[in-house]
Amino acid sequence: MAAELERLKSHLDEWVERSRGNAKNGEVASYIPELAHAPKNALGIAILDPAGTLVQSGDSGCSFTMQSISKVFTLILALMDRGEETVFSKVGMEPTGDDFNSMLKLELVEPGKPFNPLINAGAIAITSLILGSSPEEKTERILRFFRDLSGDQTLNYNEAVYRSEKATAHRNRSLAYFLKDNEVLDEATDVEEVLDVYFKHCSVDVQCSHLARMALVLANDGIDRLSGRELIPRRYVQIAKTFMLMCGMYNASGEFAIKAGFPAKSGVSGGIMAVIPGKYGIGVVGPSLNRKGNSTAGVHLLETLSRQMGWSMF
C-alpha cells in the first residue's frame, strides 16, 4: 500500500486540476437558497488510509454541509437503535431509478413505504426511528454519533443552511405528511419535529477530511482504525455499503458502479463520501452538480482515481 500512496501523492494534484474543468457543465443547487453561495469551481479531495496518512488536494479545506451523505449514518444509527426488522418494516431495500425527492413510487407499490432509506422519503422515515425523548435529544444523539465517527467533537449543524431548508422544504414536508397518512410515520409522530431533526442532520458542516475519516470506518467494517474502537457492528456497515453501491449516487448509481465500482454517497452540497473497502476513506467536494444531482467534477475525479488506481471492486 505504501507504493500506492506514493503514486497517489505524486498524481493527485494533476488529476484534480484535470477534473475541475467539469464544474462548468453543472450548476450549484439553489432549491435550498443558502446552498447557492457555494463556490462553483471548487474541487477538493481527502483520502485517509488505515495508518492515519491523509492525502489532500485542491480545495479540500472548503466547508460544506453533509446533506444526503448524512443519511448513510442516520440509517446506521436507526439500525443500532431499533434493529433490522423494525427498520425494514418502514423502508424497502430497492433502488428507485427516480429522483431523490420523487413522490412517484410512494403511491405505486406497497402504499406509502419508501423504496429505500437513502431517498428523501426513506430518510425521513429513518429519522423518525432514532431514539430520544425530544427532537433536541435525537439531534444530539445523531451529532454525537457523527462526532465519534469523524473524530471531531466540534462537529455541528450549520444554522443558516438549516433555517434555509426549513423555510423552503415544501416538497419534503409533503413527502413526510404523505408518510404519516400511510402510517409509515405512526399516529403519535409529530411530522414537523421529525423534519426538524432531518434538516439538522442534513446541515452538519464538514470538510473533506471528516468524510474521509467517517468513510474509513465503513472501509474497515465498523472499526475506527485510528482509535481501535468498534463504532458500528459489521452487519450494519454491510447494509450501509450495499445501499451506497445500489443507490448512493441517486439514479446515476448504476453508471457510477460501472465506471468507478465502489460504494459512494453524494449530497446536493456537492459532497461525495466514497469507500474503498479494506483500504481508504475518501471525502470529495465540488459544488457544481450535474442533472442527476451529483458533483460533476467530483464524479469525474472519482472515476479517474478508480481507473488509474484499479479501485473497482468488480
Ligand X SMILES: NC(=O)CC[C@H](N)C(=O)O
Catalytic residue among 28, 70, 71, 285: 71
Q: Is 68 a catalytic residue?
A: yes
CB of 267 to ligand X, least distance (A): 4
Tell me the C-alpha to C-alpha distance, in Å, between residue 224 and each of 2, 143, 220, 284.
20, 17, 7, 20
Q: Is 198 a catalytic residue?
A: yes
Catalytic residue among 19, 57, 68, 128: 68
Please give the torsion angle defined by the CA atoms of residues 124, 126, 131 and 134, in that order, rounded to the nearest 10 degrees: 0
Closer Cβ to ligand X, 261 or 293, answer by number: 293
Closer Cβ to ligand X, 34 or 165, answer by number: 165
CB of 285 to ligand X, least distance (A): 13
CA distance 66 to 152: 15
| Footprint of ligand X (CB under 6 A) | 67-68, 100-101, 120, 165, 172, 202, 267-268, 293
Closer Cβ to ligand X, 118 or 212, answer by number: 118
CB of 154 to ligand X, least distance (A): 22
Catalytic residue among 157, 162, 198, 236: 198
Q: Is 87 a catalytic residue?
A: no
User: Residue 245: which of 229, 221, 262, 224 has the closest Cα?
Assistant: 262
Has 172 been labeled as part of a binding site? yes
CB contact set of 168 (below 8 Å; sequence gap of 6+): 31, 32, 33
Q: Is 292 a catalytic residue?
A: no
Catalytic residue among 250, 265, 285, 295: 250
The residues pairing with 274 across neighbouring beta strands, listed in sequence order, are 264, 282
Has 220 been labeled as part of a binding site? no
Has 157 been labeled as part of a binding site? no
Q: Would residue 55 be called left, alpha or beta, if left means φ above 0 and alpha means ψ between -120 and 50 degrees?
A: beta
Q: Is 268 a catalytic residue?
A: yes
Closer Cβ to ligand X, 158 or 220, answer by number: 158
Give the Cβ contact number of residue 24 at 10 Å.
11
CB of 55 to ligand X, least distance (A): 26
Scan for cell 461525495, then name that residue. 272
CB of 100 to ligand X, least distance (A): 5
Has 165 been labeled as part of a binding site? yes
Q: What is the b/e burial string over 253-292, where b = at least 16 CB atoms within 10 angstroms of the residue's CB?
A: beebbebbbbbbbbbbbbbbbbbbeebbbbbbbbbbbbeb
Has 268 been labeled as part of a binding site? yes
Has 68 been labeled as part of a binding site? yes
Active-site positions read: 68, 71, 198, 250, 268
Known binding-site positions: 68, 120, 165, 172, 198, 250, 268
Known binding-site positions for substrate: 68, 120, 165, 172, 198, 250, 268
